[in-house]
Every structure is written in structure tokens, then in C-alpha cells.
């Protein structure tokens, strides 16, 4: 039976830099690595919002990318 093991997690904050000549939003992403496996989604969202307030660009949203290893 295969098992999965947590390897790492990255917090991603997405910002808008405006629009291009075609009217499409130009996005910028800031990443913060080494998020704990035990971090709750509420805590991650709170930290994401707090960090986003330190930037001048318009905040779009928070994401969390996790990586897990699958072993047989």
C-alpha cells in the first residue's frame, strides 16, 4: 500500500500590478517557504493577510502549496 509523507509547504501571496494593454491583470506572487505541517488554515490565512498589508500592491489572495512524497 502506498503512503504519503509531508515534505514542505509554501505560502503564496498574489498581488495585482495593474492591467496590460489587453486589459489582463498583471500578477505578482510573493512566496514564503517552510510553512509548518501543523499550521492551521486559519493561522495561514491570518499570517497571509498580515504579510500582504506590508506590501503596496493590491492584494488578490493567499495560497498554500504543499509537497508530499509518495512511497510504496
Tens place of pLDDT per residue across the chain (72 aa): 999 999 999 999 999 999 999 999 999 999 999 999 999 999 999 999 999 999 999 999 999 999 999 999
71: alpha, beta or left? (left if phi > 0; alpha if psi -120 to 50): beta
**Are the C-beta atoms of 16 and 57 separated by less than 8 Å?**
yes
Whole-prediction pTM: 0.84
Amino acid at each position: 500500500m502506498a503512503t504519503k509523507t509531508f515534505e514542505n509547504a509554501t505560502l503564496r501571496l498574489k498581488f495585482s500590478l495593474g492591467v496590460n494593454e489587453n486589459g489582463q491583470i498583471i500578477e505578482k506572487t510573493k512566496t514564503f517557504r517552510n510553512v509548518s505541517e501543523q499550521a492551521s488554515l486559519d493561522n495561514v490565512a491570518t499570517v497571509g493577510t498580515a504579510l500582504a498589508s506590508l506590501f503596496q500592491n493590491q492584494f488578490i489572495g493567499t495560497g498554500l502549496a504543499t509537497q508530499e512524497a509518495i512511497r510504496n
